[in-house]
Amino acid sequence: MHEKSFKRLKAKLKAIFFQARGTSLFRTIRRLNQTLRGWRQYFRLDSRKGVFESLDIHIRRHLRKLIWIAWKRPKTREINLRRRGLSDERAWKSAWNGRGAWWNAGALHMLHAFPNALFERAGLYSLAEMR
């Protein structure tokens, strides 16, 4: 895979994530899957697993960021984190931490609230596993 191809994929993903604000997570995953399947099939002979694993991590973090942005207010974030299984104190600290969406998307509270298995159940195509 050439660096130019990788940059083109990142640009496509960026456009999808930008357009995803205000839409459902499932619709975003459907749009992502179209791009990811086609790209992975084109590069199916590339056996470097690390590149695809890092892309999977990056994509899931973007999805968590979109969820964080959709919740908008700290009180809404606190309530939803509690619903997702976090303790009251941890949900409060996480919701009111004042950090940005990208930082929170990579934080442990979002990883525990939205584990990788959740995105797999939602139908997100994994580049590393190539189903």
126 in a domain, yes or no? no
Q: Which pLDDT score is estimated for 27?
A: 93
108 in a domain, yes or no? yes
75 in a domain, yes or no? yes
Q: Which pLDDT score is estimated for 51?
A: 81
Q: Which domain holds residue 97?
A: 3-121
* Residues of the chain scoring pLDDT < 70: 1, 130-131
130 in a domain, yes or no? no
How many domains would you assign to the chain?
Answer: 1
Q: Report the C-alpha gap between 1 and 77 in whole angstroms.
A: 39
Q: Which pLDDT score is estimated for 93?
A: 96
Place of tokens 């590069």: 43
Q: Is 114 helix (H, G, I), strand (E, B) or coil?
A: coil
pLDDT tens column, 108-121: 999 999 999 999 99
71 in a domain, yes or no? yes
131 in a domain, yes or no? no
65 in a domain, yes or no? yes
